[in-house]
Amino acid sequence: MVALSLICFLSFSSVVVNAAHTSVTNVRSHSSSFGVKSSSQITMLSNSANDYIQREGPLAQAGLLANIGPKGNQASAAAPGIAIASPSTSNPNYMYSWTRDAALVFKVIVDHYARSPAPRDMSLRTLIDSYADAQSKLQEVENPSGNITTGGLGEPKFNIDLTAFTGSWGRPQRDGPGLRATTLIAYANWLLDNSNKTHVNTLWPTIQLDLDYVADNWNKTGFDLWEEVSSSSFWTTAAQHRALRQGAELAKALSKDDLAESYSTQADNALCFLQSYWNPNGSYITSNTGGGRSGIDANSILASIHSFDPSAGCDALTFQPCSDKALSNLKTYVDSFRTIYGINEGIAENEAVATGRYPEDIYMGGNPWYLTTFAVSEQLYDSLFVWDAQGSLQITPVSLSFFQQFSSNVQTGNYEADSQTYGTLTSKIRTFADGFIAVNGNHTPESGSLAEQYGKDDGKPTSARDLTWSYASAITSFLAHDGILPIPWGAQGLQIRRDANGHCISNPGPMSEIVFEVERNTLYGENVYITGSIGQLGDWDPANAVRLEPKNYPSWTVRIEIPASTTFSYKYIVQDQRSGQVTWENDPNHEVASPFKGQSVVLSDTWHD
């Protein structure tokens, strides 16, 4: 067996890298360790996977840094702290900076910096500060999604010189603000741990803008992470939940108690909504609520590893990697690709295969992706760590089919770490996880360059070259293999309220009171109602509108509890109880911000004729 080399995280101060041409020897000459253990400290992979990690680890790090401007030599035209998606400028053109991709890439850098022993590499600190500064500027850029107060934070991508991309695109995409907040919160937490609250206060306005956007928009539809389907998305909801949960804790640490309460309430609601994606009939996550597809999607695998909290065990509420739902979903997802890619032909049902975004995919011909295949291995490594840490694994009826891939006669139950069943299962699952790394290794060119995809029939790299997210996914997968864990983020011990039918009950949070009044002449059998953009007003559905009562006719009134400090819009309607006909008042909508918690206000409106 070839010894696994120490993976090094390169410093911009010492080298300008080119992912496509940097040799392993040159990369190894830098000494800033990225945290992967030496071969004497870990259980070795199979030869093919081991050889791949030894070669690819340093090159993935070089490739990631090469795509960050302006010192990365694939991104010299990019503003400081801007991560390009790829240096590819045609077929497809990815020479842009996506809020999502950049946040995930910089989360890798922040996590490495935070867990590094002193003295730390200050060039990475400079890079993180440049990212924070660039993102603060991008928040201010007016774009097709709006401006800083009208929805512009949901804009998915920008030109690399910090100007707006104004072409047609799938917008808004509501995962970006939450992911960016999570990355900056990770940095802020490290600063607090190191007694630098002053710097945290400079980051807070950027973080708060994103958290406020998430708190106001988590229950609204938008385009998914693949930018194709406008609906609710499991990935987006999971990212939003984590951001709000961590945001509440940071706000509390900064003595911003009202904000902490607001974020915590909306985190509870997002967690409640997260449960609705589960498909009990198929035992998998329906990743998008729209789009007309099966819903089987890497979206859910990525959500699981993004939500991984080592302290949360195998919690199914937050879809932890080793939860029964996450494992059942993983099997359904992986199996969906076994027969649709030529390169997977002839591979046994319990062995690793190349995976893509979703089985119905036709983009660039519908191929495997490096980052989705790495994600499967990462979920499995995360699971193995938790089982070893807790000294047991549990098989439920939901996860039984996953475990029966590796032992056909295994039954539901709890298996202690010293049992033969535990040893057999975890050994085979680790081999299974190693296999997904090896699959990617079989389709990575000698240069180590990771494109977006590789051909489903010939295995050759295709689509955008040197995809930054591909490199980030390789790094996090390799770290998961070595048991280098993310910092817990607050998933442990979370609970939800359920009604008598077992359905999750949302938490309305702090409430205020509004008395709505409007004058409107009506005919016999007609009544005045109000509906609007929040659940208390029926979410614009006339069937769920709230009826007003006549008071000193033709004045109508109703008293409604509304979430405190919430901006919303509404209209009055007239419904004929005999015919069912609905008459809406004319535009524009009424728009108002509800008062603070416990306060009340009277709104005397004029019907818009």
pLDDT per residue as tens digits for the range 564-592: 888 899 999 999 988 889 999 999 999 99
Mean of pLDDT values over 350-355: 96
**Within a domain: residue 560?**
yes
Q: Looking at 56, 224, 324, 452, which residue is catalytic?
A: 224
Q: Which helix (H) or strand (E) holds 481?
A: helix 468-481
Q: For 312, phi and psi rounded to 5 degrees?
A: -90, 0
**250: pLDDT strictly greater than 50:** yes
CA 255, distance to chain mean position in Å, is 27
Higher-confidence position of 499 and 242: 242
Same-domain pairing of 221 and 185: yes
Mean of pLDDT values over 313-317: 97
> The dihedral of CA 424, 425, 431, 434: what is its sign?
negative
47 band by pLDDT with thresholds 50, 70 and 90: low
Same-domain pairing of 442 and 538: no
* 227 carries an active-site annotation: yes
Same-domain pairing of 541 and 477: no
Dig out the tokens for 34 from the structure. Answer: 């990225």
pLDDT per residue as tens digits for the range 360-415: 999 999 999 999 999 999 999 999 999 999 999 999 999 999 999 999 999 999 99
pTM over 0.75, yes/no? yes
Higher-confidence position of 609 and 35: 609
Q: Are 316 and 325 in contact (CB under 8 A)?
A: yes
Q: Looking at 51, 129, 227, 228, which residue is catalytic?
A: 227
Query: Number of folded domains in the chain?
Result: 2
CATH code, domain with 545: 2.60.40.10
**125: pLDDT strictly greater than 80:** yes
The whole-number pLDDT of residue 42 equals: 33
pLDDT per residue as tens digits for the range 291-303: 999 999 999 999 9
**Within a domain: residue 321?**
yes
Neighbours of 303 (CB within 10 A): 31
Mean of pLDDT values over 308-326: 98
Neighbours of 504 (CB within 10 A): 18
In the block, residue with structure tokens 């993310």 = 486
**108: pLDDT strictly greater than 70:** yes
In the block, residue with structure tokens 């890497």 = 298
**40: pLDDT strictly greater than 50:** no
**Within a domain: residue 76?**
yes
pLDDT per residue as tens digits for the range 502-527: 778 877 778 899 999 999 999 999 99
Same-domain pairing of 103 and 191: yes
**170: pLDDT strictly greater than 50:** yes
CATH code, domain with 295: 1.50.10.10
Same-domain pairing of 132 and 195: yes
Task: Give the integer Cα–Cα distance in Å for 282 and 274.
Answer: 17
**Within a domain: residue 90?**
yes
* 216 carries an active-site annotation: no
Strands (E) across 94-200 are located at: 97-98, 157-158
Average pLDDT, the chain: 91
Same-domain pairing of 537 and 407: no
**31: pLDDT strictly greater than 60:** no
Same-domain pairing of 115 and 138: yes
Determine the structural domain holding residue 238 and report its residue range. Answer: 24-498
Burial 529-567, CB ≥16 within 10 A → b, else e: bbbbbbebbbeeeeeebeebeeeeeeebbbebebbbbbe
Mean of pLDDT values over 475-489: 94
